[in-house]
Amino acid sequence: MTQHSDFKSLKKDVAHRMEGAVNVVHQEFAGLRSGRAAASLLEPIQVEVYGATMPITQIGNIGVPEPRLLTVQVWDKSAVKPVEKAIRDAGLGLNPQADGQLIRVPIPPLTEERRVEFTKIAGKYAEDARVAVRNVRRHAMDDLKRMEKDGRISQDEHRDHGKEIQGLTDDAIKRIDDALANKEKDILQV
C-alpha cells in the first residue's frame, strides 16, 4: 500500500466518523421539543405492540396539521392504546387523545423554565458531539505519528496531513455549533 492510499483511507475514515458525530447531534436535537409541532418529535418513540418494541413510524403515519398539533394515524385499531401510552410515557410532557384510529397530540407551550432546561440539554448534546469529533482527530493524529515513525510518510507529509485532519475537525465542530445555535433559537422562540 502506498503512503498516499494510507492517508486517503485514514482521511476517508476520519471524515465518515466526524460526519457520524454531526448526524447524532442532529438526531438528538430532533428529539428536543421546541414550542412548535414537528413530526421528528415523535419519531424516536418506541411502542410495545404485537409482543415486540417497534418505532412509532412502523405503526402509523405522523402528521402536522397545525403548528401546535401532531397527529398519528394508527393503521391497526389494536395498536391505538399502546401508541397513546408510548407517547404519554416518552417524557416529552405530551398528552395524546385518541379519536378512533387517529391520535391527536396537542403541543403545549413551553414554560420559560423548560425552555432554559432544553437549551442546557442541547448544549450537553453539542459538547458530547464536539468531544467525539476531537477524539476522532486525536486518533488520526496518533495514526499519522505512527506512519511517520514507520517511515511510511515524511515529516512534511505528516504536517500537511495533520492540517487536513484539523480542517475536517474545524468543519465538523462549526456544523455542530451552527446546529446548536439554530436549536437554541428554536427552543427560545415564543
Domains along the chain with CATH numbers: 3-31+111-188 (1.10.132.20), 39-106 (3.30.1360.40)
Residue 56's pLDDT is: 94
**What pLDDT score was predicted for residue 180?**
96
pLDDT attached to residue 3: 56
pTM, full prediction: 0.71
Q: What is the block-wise mean pLDDT of the chain (190 residues), using blocks of 10 residues?
A: 74 95 89 75 89 93 91 95 93 88 89 85 93 97 94 93 96 97 86
| Spatial separation of the C-alpha atoms in residues 138 and 146, rounded to whole Å | 12
Burial class of residue 33 (count of CB atoms within 10 Å of its CB; 0-12, 13-18, 19+)? buried
Q: Which of 134, 137, 156, 138 is nearest to 3 (CA)?
A: 156
